[in-house]
Each structure stands twice: as structure tokens, then as C-alpha cells.
Amino acid sequence: MGVTAVFTVLSIPYALSQTDWYRASVLLAPAKERSTSSLTRQLGGLVSLAGVSVGGGGSAEPIAILRSRDFTGAFIEEQDLLKVLFARDWNPETDSWLAEDPEIWPDMRDAVRLFSNDVISVAEDSITGLVTLTVQWTDPELAAEWAGLLVGRLNAHLRQRALIEAEANVAYLQQELGQTNLVTLQQSVGRLLETELQKVMLARGNEEYAFRVIDRAQVPKMRFRPNRTLIVVLATLLGGMLSVLVVFSRHAIKVAQIRAASTTVA
């Protein structure tokens, strides 16, 4: 009982000393793209010849980009989060790291690893296709803010890339259109050029290019960890099991000693 009580008492300050973590989530739906499968079938090999991408869609690529080290590192650098992520190692008064050795100062690689493993998580529902982006941090307002900024930055990144690709395709198709005299080929290239111009228009006018926000992230009110009650309960159980083990071990040792003494006397 004494050992169990010690474990219980010691677990209380330990549980209270743990930092509160908050979780903010944003629910996303993949943006619908206009289908161009019929146009692809009509143009046949011309599409592959021109190197133009039509149709497609889905959330696999945006999710992969969201999880990538390059995207995470760019976001950390853009928001200047290195000092925020490693606030315990940073001295704001001297505007320097606490450690004297520069070799152990946190760098971008450490920040990306921490952000990817402990801060951000992405889950996709295989049935509905909805994507949940979750950000967890010790500051509830920052968690909600980062979730919104990540979605906005992802949409902007994919919009810009799609715009560059579509404009390059438009330039190529316009060049091909001016070099051919075949009416049928001109008509095919014209239809493909119209599709690429539509992509340019959609990329410029649609801010939610990759994901549409279904439910925006809100500032969490309750922490999700640590569970201080669970910590105390587990510590009490651990103390009880260890004390019982010690009691049985001591009892077994005493019984063995008594038997050894009886055998010696006999």
C-alpha cells in the first residue's frame, strides 16, 4: 500500500507538468475537374504527341504534396516557424539559441521532421473521398491558423503549377496551329487549345483549386492530450503491481530459505 501510494503521489505533479496539446481539423473535398475523356478519345494520339495532359483529377497528388518535405519546409520557412517549433531551445532575450555548440542547434531538417511527425496529419476516407487535415500544437489558435494556411498554400501552389503547365500547352498548340495546313488537324488542335484555355481560366479564377473547404478549422477549446486522470490511474496500477510482485518475491525467498534450513537440520 505504501509503494502504491508513492506512485500515485508522484504521478500527480508529473501529470500536471505535461504540456497541453490542442487539435484543429479542417474537412476538405477534392475539387471537381471538368471531364475531357471524350475529347481525349476524339484526338487520340495527338494528345500524347503534344504532351498535353487532359482530364484526371483526384486527391492523391495534392495529399502527396501536402505530406512532402519540400512543401512542409517551404511552409515552415514562409511562416518563420523554426523558433516556434523549438521554443524551448530559443532565448528571445538574446535572440539566439540556448546551446553554445552550433552543431546541435535545430535546423530546417529537424523542423520538417517534427512538423511532419508530431504536428500535421492527413487522412482520406476511402468511401467518401473526403480528406481531413489535422494540426496539433500547444497553442490552440496557432493550430487552427496553421490548418487554414496549409490548405490555402496548397491550393495556391497547385493553381500556379497548373497555370504554368496550361500556358505552356497553349503556346505549344498555338505554334502547331500556325504550322499546319490540314483542316482536320487544325480543328483537332483548336479543340485541344480550347480545353487548355479553359484550364487557364479555371486556374486563374478558382482559389479552391485542389480542395474545397467543407468545414473550416476552429480554435479548439479542449485539449486532446495529456489525459492526466489516465496517467494517475496507470501509475497507481503500476505501483500496485510492482508492490504485489515484491511481496510475492519476498515470500517465495523466505519459503525457500525455511525449506533449505529444514533440509540442513534433517
Q: Using one digit for the tens of pLDDT, what is the confidence trace for 117-160?
A: 999 999 999 888 899 999 999 999 999 999 999 999 999 998 88
What SS3 state is found at 94?
Answer: coil
Predicted confidence at residue 5, as pLDDT, reads 87
Predicted confidence at residue 116, as pLDDT, reads 94
Q: What percent of the chain has pLDDT over 70?
A: 88
Q: What is the mean pLDDT of the chain?
A: 83
Residue 265 pLDDT > 80, yes or no? no
Amino acid in position 225: R
How far apart, in whole angstroms, are the C-alpha atoms of residue 257 and residue 266? 14
Amino acid in position 86: F
How far apart, in whole angstroms, are the C-alpha atoms of residue 249 and residue 243? 10
Q: Who contacts 33 (Cβ-Cβ below 8 Å, separation ≥6)?
A: 55, 56, 57
Q: Who contacts 23 (Cβ-Cβ below 8 Å, separation ≥6)?
A: 134, 135, 136, 143, 220, 224
Q: Who contacts 192 (Cβ-Cβ below 8 Å, separation ≥6)?
A: 39, 43, 46, 47, 50, 52, 54, 173
Is 144 in contact with 24 (CB distance < 8 Å)? yes
Q: Is 162 exposed, middle or buried (0-12, 13-18, 19+ CB in 10 A)?
A: buried
CA torsion through residues 45, 48, 53, 59, sign: positive
Strand partners, 135: 24, 120
How far apart, in whole angstroms, are the C-alpha atoms of residue 115 and residue 109? 10
- The structure's pTM equals 0.74
Q: Using one digit for the tens of pLDDT, what is the confidence trace for 188-197?
A: 777 787 787 7
CA torsion through residues 226, 229, 230, 236, sign: positive
User: C-alpha 124: how far from its chain's center?
Assistant: 12
3-state helix, strand, coil in the chain (%, to 5): 65, 10, 25
DSSP 222: S
What are the start-end ranges of the H helices in 18-85? 37-43, 45-50, 60-67, 69-79, 82-85
How far apart, in whole angstroms, are the C-alpha atoms of residue 158 and residue 62? 8
The grid coordinates listed for 74 are 517551404
